[in-house]
Amino acid sequence: MEAKELLKGRRSIRKYKADSVSEDVLKSVVELASFAPSWKNTQISRYIAVTGELKDKVSATLAEHNQSIVNSAPMLIIQTDIEKRSGFERDGSFSTKKEDRWQNYDAGIAAAQFCLAAYEAGLGTVIMGIFDEDEVANVVGIPEGQKIMALIALGYPDEEPQAPKRKTVDDLLTIK
């Protein structure tokens, strides 16, 4: 797949086929996501893959819109990040005025790369930010020193949504 098609063709998918995602395919997606840039190559993003009953338990904590997505997807990725790395000095102080916000920045880049790698493998994804972090953590169990960043539904698409309208380059770009 050409990069242009990859970047333009990926869509958020909210309806999935029942086919499961194999461990090999999942691992190849995570491997490609690991090539995302990160603060001093800290690579803080982690992925917990849940299916079956555990996925159902996570789904039960969600509001209706995201619940129906997670019910439809055969796999749910809980994206976590290792705390206090990105944007931090070795002594634990902040490196810049953005303080710990580079953590979120790095996780976002990793998630984007994860979704693009999944798309190239024929999979659909949607990043979900609307969920109760504490409730999901209680259900799944998150390793010490990590925090949940986002949920990502994963599976083979059962819809071909149109791209939501994009802003024009003139809206986005200022050349001085």
Ligand X SMILES: Cc1cc2nc3c(=O)[nH]c(=O)nc-3n(C[C@H](O)[C@H](O)[C@H](O)COP(=O)(O)O)c2cc1C
Options 41-49, 74-82, 121-129, 138-146: segment touching ligand X (CB under 6 A): 121-129
Subset of residues 134 to 163 that bind ligand X, contact rule: CB under 6 A:
163
> Which position among 3, 90, 164, 174 is part of the footprint of ligand X (CB under 6 A)?
164
> Which position among 43, 66, 80, 113 is part of the footprint of ligand X (CB under 6 A)?
66
Options 35-43, 81-89, 96-104, 126-134: segment touching ligand X (CB under 6 A): 126-134
The distance of closest approach from Cβ of residue 12 to ligand X in the complex, given in angstroms and rounded to an integer, is 3
Q: Which residues contact 45 (CB under 8 A, 6 or more apart)?
A: 33, 36, 38, 79, 80, 81, 106, 107, 110, 111, 149
Residue 113 has phi, psi (to 5 degrees) of: -65, -35
Q: How many residues does the chain have?
A: 176
The distance of closest approach from Cβ of residue 129 to ligand X in the complex, given in angstroms and rounded to an integer, is 3
Q: Which residues contact 147 (CB under 8 A, 6 or more apart)?
A: 80, 81, 83, 133
Sign of CA dihedral 135, 140, 142, 148: negative
Is 130 one of the binding residues for ligand X (CB under 6 A)? yes
Distance CA 77, CA 152 (A): 5
Options 6-14, 33-41, 44-52, 84-92: segment touching ligand X (CB under 6 A): 6-14
Footprint on this chain of ligand X (rule: CB under 6 A): 11-12, 14, 66, 69, 126-130, 163-164
